[in-house]
Amino acid sequence: MVDIGPGSGEILVIWARNQESDVDHYEIWWSEAPGGSKVLVDTVPHDPSRLGGLSQDLGGGRTGYTDVGGRSWDPGRNCYQVRAVDASGNQGPLPPEVCLPDPAPEQVTGLTVGPGGGSLEVGVIWRRTADQDIDHYEIWYSEQPGQAKAMIATVPDAPAGGRAIDLGDGRIEYIDYPRDLVDGTNCYQVAAVDRDGRPGPRSVEVCYRG
């Protein structure tokens, strides 16, 4: 796996040590972008007792290496491969590359729930997240506070009209209809979903107040 390291510009590369008895060390290969030409960053001993400096024994048969090459945190880039080399210098195959993960969307904030402007309409308003790759938002609903919610709608990040309205100033409104407008009922959460289909955490629950 590849993850952000403990300091600025550092990336932590983690792998499971090979179980073959004649493994001597590992080569760490890096490219800036997926599928790019790789360069050898460093070699790391197989024997945990020989680790030190930038490499460490993480336990559970895993080794970690901190790349301090000043890489930027650029999701989906900074790609690594690690392969084993035996005592005779024979190199094992390069595994599939692993790149810095693209984090899930942020939690939606600014959720408000109130009258929607028409009979039996509830207006659900929230703020867009700061993520640049949001595809849509999920609207989750329960009749009473704290109940398990069902997803009732999806709203594009750039709504084109209908029940979903771009209010400007980074806010979106969804008109839920028909609902009985009773204070303390009609409870909602909203979650952002990115273009890879990954949902962020749902917002706090907010219920209707007339």
Rounded distance, CA 184 to CA 18, Å?
58
Give the model's confidence band at 6: pLDDT under 50 very low, under 70 low, under 90 confident, else very high.
Answer: low
67: β partners: 11
What is the reported pLDDT for 198?
85
Give the model's confidence band at 168: pLDDT under 50 very low, under 70 low, under 90 confident, else very high.
Answer: very high
Mean pLDDT over each residue of the chain, to the nearest integer: 92
Terminal-residue alpha carbon distance, the chain: 50
Q: Is this model's pTM higher than 0.75 or not?
A: no
Rounded distance, CA 94 to CA 84, Å?
8
Give the model's confidence band at 103: pLDDT under 50 very low, under 70 low, under 90 confident, else very high.
Answer: confident
DSSP the chain: -EEE-SSTT-EEEEEEPP--TTEEEEEEEEESSTTPPPEEEEEEESSGGG--TTEEEEETTEEEEEE-S-----TT-SEEEEEEEETT-PBPPPPPPEE---PPPPPPEEEEEEE-SSTT-EEEEEEPPS-S-EEEEEEEEESSTTSPPEEEEEEESS--BTTEEEEETTEEEEEE-S----TT-SEEEEEEEETTS-B-PPPPPEE---
Closest CA to 109 of 123, 136, 124, 129: 129
